[in-house]
Structure 1
Amino acid sequence: MDEWIKGYQSKCSGAKVDYQGTGSGAGITAFSGGTADFAGSDSALKDGDEATKAAARCGGAPALNLPMVTGPIAIAYNVDGVKDLQLKPETLAKIFSGAIKTWDDAAIKGDNPSATLPSTPILAVHRSDSSGTTDNFTGYLTSVAPSAWTAGKDKVWKAQGGQAEKGSDGIAAALKKSAGSIGYVEWSFAKANSLSTAKIYNGSGEYASLTADAAGKTIAGAKVTGTGDDLKLSIDYATKEAGAYPIVLVTYEIVCSKGSATDKLALIKGFLGYTVSAEGQGSLEKLGYAPLPETVRAKVESSIKNLA
């Protein structure tokens, strides 16, 4: 957002965009409460009460979920002597559920036959706050390792044990200082903190490294489940696309389809139009995000033009 705001304001010097990165749950609350003109969220609005409150804020018109950026979720770790960790979904689920307690567990050894694994206890770090990253990560585990992960999909962490930290920056800081730790963060935080990231086994039967291209392959296969200009996506975490990195999220911009303040509508359309433009999307990879596949980007651009 900082990069987009800087780029947009350089082209529209009279424009002012104030964005506070407070987390997905807080962002949706601010939007529905009328204190934000749009909100960024790593989860789409949930059907029911959440979507109803958002529509009420829009004067009865539906709020739209507009995918704006692919945020790969990195499985970051700090384990002495281990540089190329690779994990299958079941192993990952057991680590975060607490079933696997040490780094030399047989399951981790099975995923990493050539690695020298220490007997260090595992410190699994998760979010303490309501988080779209948590929602997507637990959704991934629920989808691909249901027998090993029984805590369900939620923005709030439900599993027992582990260490809780606020925000992706909190998790990244804990991983950096704690030997034997592992956690989930958006790729940008792993890159900014020079954290090691694991390869993840995908539906095509290979361990995939985290790259912008690999994450984009998973998003390209997502299905639009929203109607009309609403572009809520359903991600296939078990994608069989060769080379696809499967643990990804989409950051949505949530905005009124109709009913935005008349004095702000042009600015909202202008700014969101810039973020989804080729220029706006082109600035993402260097920051640790992945641009939208063109098939998705074009749909978002069309939806923004229809805002009223």
Structure 2
Amino acid sequence: MNMKRHGVALGIMAAGALLLTACGSDNNAGATGGSSNTTSTSAGPKVDCSGKKTLKASGSTAQKNAMDLFVKAYNDACDGSDVNYTANGSGAGVSDFTGKQTDFAGSDSALDPKKGEPDKAAASCGSPAWDLPVVFGPITLVYNVKGVSDLNLDAATTAKIFDGEIKTWDDAAIKKLNPSATLPSTKISVVYRSDQSGTTDNFQQYLTSAGGWTKGAGKTFNGGVGSGASGNPAVATALGQTDGGIAYVEWSFAQSNKLNIASIVTTDGGTPVKVSADSVGKAISSAKFKNPSGNDLSLDLSSIHKTTAAGAYPLLLATYEIVCSKYADAATGKAVKAFLTTAINQGQADLASNGYAPLPDSLKAKLTTAIDAIS
């Protein structure tokens, strides 16, 4: 992803009416106010269900379970309306969208100017396409080390583990982060994703931004060490069978496989942060946009990876819904608006129990403005 230094913090938006009740350039200043990482769920606003009855979309596999929840909420809000979502991968989703095969795309990366994707999407839409970050899935560092049930890691140490520079669990760098732990001399065995993976891309972006990783990002693991397994389930299984193993998987797979999850020490060197809906929400709220204004909400992910916000968990995968700002068919635009409105409101209710992070109200307000502008 092409990172720019200019951005705007997501902090509290001056739109209190949008908050739901219930339950760098050198100029990176955000709005002032109290805590901005609160989340809320409710019955949600009423939506106009008079648009196209069935939408077609495709893309990211990482957001598939979240999309199932969103579609259910949409079905409940708009009886007889539906979204057919095919989880065929982010690249395929973008290709389907720019090829006019779908009404919107799901992608683990925003449209890439280096690949000409914004221009292709604009040509397909007949209007600019917008990247809307709707789904956030924490990536966890999971490990299998006998006698160790609590572990702290920072990005720099993690980078050295995954490129093979740090070879044993009693290495001085790991000991420094875990002064009270009894760490064995067991050899470290890296388990990585062998398939083309958005999780791998986001993991390597984190290591690059915050850990001095020099191997590059991308959907192929570039560390050059360890053994590969295809998909989150296979990685989790392989880790469970490997004493001394370490891997990266999406949070839901760490939960379902009852894997040990490392806490992360952020770039400010503060208290190690455990993954939770609250800690992820704090990281999202501290993020900055690549473009300070407008409704294209592509994120500067380095602002998340290098967050210094207290209690913020920095290792995230953001999935965008890529939409036309103005649809040639008004009924399609109306349905996309209704679906996304439902997704960021009623659709948030069960995300945390499925390994995703509910949207903080600050970002929800920004998304609401963009979604309301779709026509």
Q: TM-score, normalised by structure 2?
A: 0.75
- Could you tell me how far 1:126 is from its partner in structure 2? 2.3
Select which of 125, 131, 144 maps to 1:58: 125
Residues 1:282 and 2:346 are matched in the alignment: no
1:169-180 matches, within 5 Å, as 169-180=233-244
Q: Check if 1:259 corresponds to 2:311.
A: no
In structure 2, the gaps of 5 or more residues are: 1-66
Does the aligned pair in 1 maintain the 2:70–2:343 contact within 8 Å? Answer: yes
CA displacement 1:231-259 (0-9 Å, x = unmatched): 11113222221111111232211111123
Structure 1, unmatched stretches of 5+, are none
Contact 2:326 2:333 in 1 (8 A): no
Paired position in structure 2 for 1:239: 307
Q: Which of 216, 229, 234 is the matching residue for 1:165? A: 229
SS at match of 2:84: coil
Distance across 2 between alignment mates of 1:125 and 1:30: 32
2:190 paired residue number: 124
Whether the 8 Å contact between 1:133 and 1:185 is mirrored in structure 2 is yes
Aligned partner of 2:62 in structure 1 is none
> Over residues 137-169 of structure 1, what are the superposed CA-to-partner deviations in whole Å (9 max), with x where a residue is unaligned?
1111111122xx211222332221222333333
Structure 1 residue 261: Cα displacement = 4.5
Task: Establish whether residue 135 from structure 1 lines up as the match of residue 201 from structure 2.
Answer: yes
Deviation, structure 1 residue 24: 2.4
Deviation track 1:255-290 (CA, whole Å, cap 9, x = no partner) reads 11123644533322211111111x222321121211
Is 1:106 the counterpart of 2:172 in the alignment?
A: yes
Shift, 1:208, TM fit:
0.8
Write the letter of the residue equivalent to 2:340: L
For residues 79-98 of structure 1, the aligned pairs below 5 Å read: 79-98=145-164
How far apart are 1:291 and its partner, in Å?
Answer: 1.4
Residue 358 of structure 2 is matched in structure 1 by 291
Shift of 1:110: 2.2
User: Cα–Cα, structure 1 residues 181 and 25, in superposed 2: closer, same or farther, change >3 Å?
Assistant: farther
Describe the superposition over 1:157-204 as per-residue Cα deviations: whole angstroms up to 9, x where unpaired: 222122233333332333233332211122122112222110010134
Seq. identity, %: 50
The residue type equivalent to 2:343 in the other structure is T
Q: Distance in 1 between matches of 2:287 and 2:72?
A: 30
1:214 partner amino acid:
S
* Pairing 1:249–2:317 present: yes
CA distance in structure 2 between the partners assigned to 1:281 and 1:136 by the alignment: 23
Deviates further, 28-37 or 202-211: 28-37
Query: Secondary structure of the residue that 1:34 maps to in structure 2?
Result: coil
**Partner secondary structure for residue 161 of structure 1:** coil
Q: Is this contact kept in 2: 1:24–1:131, CA < 8 A?
A: no
Amino acid at match of 2:307: T
The equivalent residue for 1:192 is: 256
- Give the Cα separation in 1 of the matches to 2:98 and 2:306: 33
CA distance in 2: counterparts of 1:77 and 1:29, whole angstroms = 36
Match 2:369 to one of 302, 305, 308: 302
3-state DSSP class of the match of 1:250?
strand
Q: Provide the aligned length of Structure 1 versus Structure 2.
A: 304
2: CA distance, partners of 1:30 / 1:121: 44
**Residue-by-residue CA offset, 1:117-148 (whole Å, 9 max, x unaligned):** 233332222223333322221111111122xx
Aligned to 1:26: 92
TM-score by length of 1: 0.91
Q: Report the AA paired with residue 110 of structure 2.
A: A
**Greater shift in the superposed pair: 80-89 or 103-112:** 103-112
- Which residue in 2 is equivalent to 1:224? 289
The one-letter code sitting in structure 1 at the alignment partner of 2:122 is: A
C-alpha change, 1:32 and 1:193, in structure 2 (3 Å) is farther
In 1: Cα distance, 2:256 partner to 2:249 partner: 11
Distance 1:251 1:176 in 2: 28
Distance 1:183 1:22, change over 3 A: farther
Task: Report deviation, 1:47.
Answer: 1.7
By how many angstroms is 1:93 displaced?
A: 0.4
Q: Deviation digits for residues 35-84 of structure 1, max 9, x if unmatched?
A: 3322222221122322222223223x222110112221111122222111
CA contact (8 A) 1:87 1:199 kept: yes
Structure 1 residue 181 corresponds to structure 2 residue 245: yes
Separation in structure 2 between the aligned mates of residue 177 and residue 35 of structure 1, nearest angstrom: 42
| Partner Cα separation in structure 2 for residue 201 and residue 189 of structure 1 | 22
